[in-house]
Structure 1
Amino acid sequence: MILVLALLAAACGDDEPAATTAAPATTAAPATTAAPDTTAAPDTPAAPTTTAAPTTTAAPTTEAPMEPTVIRVRLNWTADPGFLGLYMADELGFFTEENVVAEFEYGGPNVPHPVQILAGGAADIGFGGLAIIADAVSQGDEFVIFGTRLQEGILGISSLASDPILTASDICGSKIGATPGDIVQLDALLTLNGLEAGCYDMVPVGYDPSPVAEGLVRGQINYMNSHPVILDFMGIDNVAVSYADLGMQMYHDLAFVNRSFLDANRDAMVGFLRAMIKGWEAAFADPDAAIDLMMNKWGGAEIGMDISFQRPVHDAQVPLMTSSLTDEKGLFQMDFDLMASTMWDVLALTGIENLPSAESMIDTSLLDDAFAGCGASLLEC
């Protein structure tokens, strides 16, 4: 696996390993001639009988092993606990077992989203939210969703325990810290709850949850696996409520692929999915080993990540990655009926024009093939 730490959108190389040359066919040994028969009747000049030995059969030609499939994967951030399963899959050789070479390239705060990178042909697989993928497809991109890392949306609202936001109605009339990209889903959440979109006072903020800590806003849109952890580390008594708790059921961090790549490399895609899920199972079993890889092999230490903060972030993401569905069928599973109904109803509220159908965007058959005969665990299969 190839690590690319640059935060600029650069396409991964297209070169593939050179083909292994087949061993030449073994040349048949020449026919062996038997020694002449020297026994003959007395005084009878018998002609010697010469019998040829059977011809030695040529050794079979050795076929070259199948060349591995290179899969270019665009991640949506720098080194992060959200990629621990990928780090472990690489370290434990799971991609190699599937005859796949996975090339990963990091994203970052000033780098185009994976949907843009895939649309431009510089990557084959990406991860992202359902709304942004559906919006790209509505504009002509041909992406297929084949799994989801998070079983519920990662977004929520953080507030101080002394003045908590606990219900959707608490949002209305409050100062809410958010980025411009947060508004569409926040308004959809309010509409789902029978409230008026935009009923709050939006205060532009960045990633840092300090505006909540300092009381500059009553609530701030957060990532449920990190912002509450940061506030805890700051010693701030805080409350975090997820969009799912407020009535918006959405998958997040969905894996998607260019349809043309999937059509041409389906077996390799199943292998990639199987290896990735095995890596996540291994990360769940030994998170400290996975975090060590992130810090010391995959760039975490180089960008100044605080290792003491990473285990709590991982522990916070585990309940987001698991559900009754994953308990029954395994990680990355998707409920198609839930997506086509409840989640598509939410998408309709986001204002996406020409919203594509769920059937045109979702393929659960890769998960079926990856888990075939294995129950809910691939490592134990």
Structure 2
Amino acid sequence: MDLKYDMAQLTRRQMLRTAGAGALALGGGSLLAACGSSESSSKSGSGSGGETEVSDQLGWLKLSQFAGFFLAQEKGYYEDEGIAADIRAGGPNIIASQLVSNDKATVGNDDNGTVLQAIAKGTPLIIYGTIFQRSPYAVLSLPDAPIRTLEDFAGKKVALSPATRPLLEPLLESAGVDPSDVDFLPAGPDPAQLVNKQVQGYFGYATQQAVALEQQGVEVVTTLLDDLGLVNYGNVLITTPDRVEQERDTLVKYLRASIRGWEYAIANPEEAGKLVATKYGPKGLDTETEIAVNKAQVPLIENPAGIMRITEERMQQVIDSYAAGKALEKPLKAADVMTTEILDAAYGGKRTLL
């Protein structure tokens, strides 16, 4: 079966770079043009209407994984807080964590592993929240050769990124699977390898590649890496320690409005999908697919304690997973890489803001 996969549905650059996502070999200039420029300075100041300007550098294109920010704009939640939000698309050549650490954006989001690796190298970043409580990164397989457990990897051909392999191998060994019994191959830019049965496993996003395949009538078995033992947040929210100290009120207002936008998106996935497909996303997005993506990502975003919440306990598990794969230059403590004070202030003792 020859799969003509809509490249606009592909997710983050890190699919070929880190375990939480990966670098996608996106061809053509249209998507690059859709990313826009992110090189302008981001020092917070007053907008033309007296609002405080906040630039938010997304980790990838304006797709449904960021729908809540777009809903916050559409519903006027940023305006309510006196914020002029500049939400900037990312792309293959844009690394959000670099732009935020270099004061080219007030805040941003990036892959959890990418951020931890940067912090381990001394980059001034701090995590203050997350979009996904569990990373959507998953191994995709077909029903005739499903991969649901670590033991199921034995004897199979699996396409993945070079950076994912060292994180997966310790998990396989812990389950009694010799990594040499798995035939690892480089992941292509789309899941055609899986559909054409060149491989039995393909690492991609449960909320993008898997959903798009299902929309095209391909039945897929999706197993999150989180369920296999690789604990990871998805799209962590980042800023710099200096901004937390000097611009705390602005960050709280921006986050409070963003939370409201995400709560609305979760409650209204059809509206969110249509908005991404027709207004915010790159040209060529399919509305029904974006609606399906919005529905599929809800379980990974929701948290009884409040969306976007992070904890030191889970972050330490993330750190330990990366340390086991020797992906960090030095040991890290969760308390040193994250803060909950912005979230706490934004929620004000509540668990929901709508």
> Given the superposition, is the C-alpha separation of residues 17 and 147 from structure 1 closer, same or farther in structure 2, using an over 3 Å criterion?
closer
Q: 1:127 to 1:19 in 2, by over 3 A?
A: closer
Describe the SS at the equivalent of 1:134.
Answer: helix
Deviation at 1:17, TM superposition (A): 4.2
Higher percent of residues as helix? 2
**Which residue in the other structure is 2:314 paired with?**
338
SS in 2 for 1:180: coil
Taking a change above 3 Å as real, the CA distance of residues 188 and 106 of structure 1, as seen in their structure-2 partners, is farther
Indicate the residue corresponding to 1:307 in structure 2.
Answer: 287
Residues in 2 aligned to 1:77 and 1:107: alpha-carbon distance in whole angstroms:
4
- Give the Cα separation in 1 of the matches to 2:180 and 2:131: 30
Structure 2 counterpart of 1:101: 84
Corresponding residue number in structure 2 for 1:234: 216
Contact 2:207–2:297 (CA under 8 A) maintained in structure 1: yes
CA spacing shift, 1:158–1:263, aligned 2, 3 Å: same
Match status 1:180 vs 2:162: yes
1:356–1:371: structure 2 CA closer, same or farther, 3 Å change rule?
A: same
Q: Is the 8 A contact 1:12 1:105 kept in 2?
A: no
1:19 Cα deviation (Å)?
Answer: 7.8
Q: Structure 1, residues 90-141: CA drift from partner, whole Å, max 9, x if none? A: 1111112212222111112x22321122233311212122221111011111
Q: Is this contact kept in 1: 2:63–2:276, CA < 8 A? A: yes
Q: CA deviation at 1:305?
A: 0.7
Between 310-319 and 224-233, report the one with greater CA deviation: 224-233
Equivalent residue letter for 1:371: Y
Task: Give the superposed CA RMSD.
Answer: 2.3
Higher RCO (C-alpha 8 Å, min separation 6): 2
**Deviation (angstroms), 1:320:** 0.8
Change in 2 beyond 3 A, CA 1:196/1:365: farther
Describe how 1:199-278 pairs up with structure 2 within 5 A: 199-278=181-260
Query: Do structure 1's residue 117 and structure 2's residue 93 form an aligned pair?
Result: no
TM-score, structure 2 normalization: 0.84
Query: In 1, Cα distance between the equivalents of 2:179 and 2:53?
Result: 45
Q: Percent identity?
A: 28
Decide whether aligned partners of structure 1 residues 103 and 193 sit closer, same or farther in structure 2, where only a CA change above 3 A counts.
Answer: farther
Q: Which has the larger radius of gyration?
A: 1
Map of 1:69 onto structure 2 = 52
**Cα distance, 1:152 vs structure 2:** 1.0
Partner of 2:72: 89
Q: Give the gaps of 5 or more residues in structure 1.
A: 21-66
SS in 2 for 1:116: helix
The whole-number CA distance in structure 1 between the counterparts of 2:238 and 2:143 is: 38
Q: Contact between 1:171 and 1:200, CA under 8 Å: does it hold in 2? A: yes
Where structure 2 has 5 or more consecutive residues not aligned to the other structure, the ranges are: 1-31
Aligned equivalents of 1:331, 1:81: Cα separation in 2: 16
Look up the SS of the partner of 1:244 in the other structure.
helix
* Partner residue, 1:370: 346
TM-score (norm. length: structure 1):
0.78
Change beyond 3 A, Cα 1:289–1:354: same
SS at match of 1:158: strand
How many residue pairs align between the two structures?
321
